[in-house]
Structure 1
Amino acid sequence: MWTLHTPDELRRLRAGLGEIIADAPWTDEDELADVPERMVLVASELATNAIRHGQPPTEVRLLRTEEQFVLDVIDHDPETPPEPTEADDFDSGGRGLHIAQRLSLDVGWYTTDNMSKHVWASFPITEPSAAG
C-alpha cells in the first residue's frame, strides 16, 4: 500500500507499482502486454483525483484475484462522489475518471463506515500457460 499526501509523491507510487506488476506474467506477444502501462497511468490519475478532491491521506492498494488486478484508491471524503467532468481540449485536468474508464475493464466506487471513499479500477491478468 502507498500512502500519499501530495502530488510530489506520485512518482514513488508509479515506480513502486511498476516494480510489482513487472513480475506478473506479461508477454510482448500477448494482447494484454500494455496492461502494466495502463495500470500505472490509471493509478496515477485516480490518486491525483483523490489528492486534489478528497481528504488526506490518499491510500493506494493493489489487490489481485485469480482473474484481475484491482487498483483501490482511498480518500477520506465519503460525501463527495467521484464524477467525470466535461473537460475541453484546453483544460489541463479533469480527465482522470474518463482515462480510467477507457483503459480498465471496469471502474466503480463505494464508501465505508470508517469515513472512507474507495475508487477502484480492474484490469485483466494473464496466467502462465500450463504447458510452459
Structure 2
Amino acid sequence: MGALPRSSPPPQAVELNRWTLTDGATLRQMRIELREALQAHRLAAHTSSPVAERAALVATELAGNALRHGRSPAVVRLLMVDGRFILDVADQDRESVPEPAAGAHTDHGGRGLHIARSLAGELSWYTTEHAKHVWVSFPADAASDQDAAGDI
C-alpha cells in the first residue's frame, strides 16, 4: 500500500452528524451512535447491516489512530454527497502524515489504514488550519446494503 492521496471531500458535502472523541469510552459511544445515524439517515437498512458494520469498523480504526497517534480531541464527521456518505476523521496534529504501516501484523496494530482502504471506496487525507483529516467514502444506497449481505 503506497502513500495516501491528498484531497479534501467534495465541498458540497453536507454534514449529517459529528462526534468529538477524547478517549476509548467516547470512541465506543461514537461507534454505537454511528450505526444508529446510518440507519436514521437511511444509509443502512439496519444497525447490523454490512454497510453499517464496515463503516463502524473503519470509523473506529481511523478514530483510534487519531487518538493514539494524533493530538486530542479527535472529531468524526458523517457527511453525505452525490449518492455516497463520507466519514471524515480529524485530529489536531497537522505535522504528521498518515502513512500505512509497512509489514504490520494485526497483533501489533498498524492495520487501520489498510482496513480502511480494503472496506471503503475512496481513502484520502488533507489538512486545514487546525487539523489533519483522513476520510473515506461508502456508497449510500441502502438497497445495495441488502445485496451485500454476504460480503462480510
TM-score (norm 1): 0.85
1:83 alignment partner, one of 88, 96, 99: 99
Runs (5+) with no aligned partner, structure 1: none
1:119 corresponds in structure 2 to: 134
SS in 2 for 1:50: helix
Runs (5+) with no aligned partner, structure 2: 1-17, 144-152
Kindly tell me the number of residue pairs found equivalent between the two proteins: 122
Distance in 1 between the 2:133 and 2:106 partners?
Answer: 28
SS in 2 for 1:94: coil
TM-score (norm 2): 0.74
1:47 corresponds in structure 2 to: 63
Distance in 1 between the 2:38 and 2:53 partners?
Answer: 9
**Structure 1 residues 17, 25: CA separation in 2 closer, same or farther (over 3 Å shift)?**
closer
**Identical counterparts, % of pairs:** 48
1:56-95: CA deviation from partner (whole Å, max 9, x where unpaired): 110000000131100000101110011110312542x110
Q: Which has the larger radius of gyration?
A: 1
SS in 2 for 1:79: coil
**RMSD (Å), alpha carbons:** 1.8
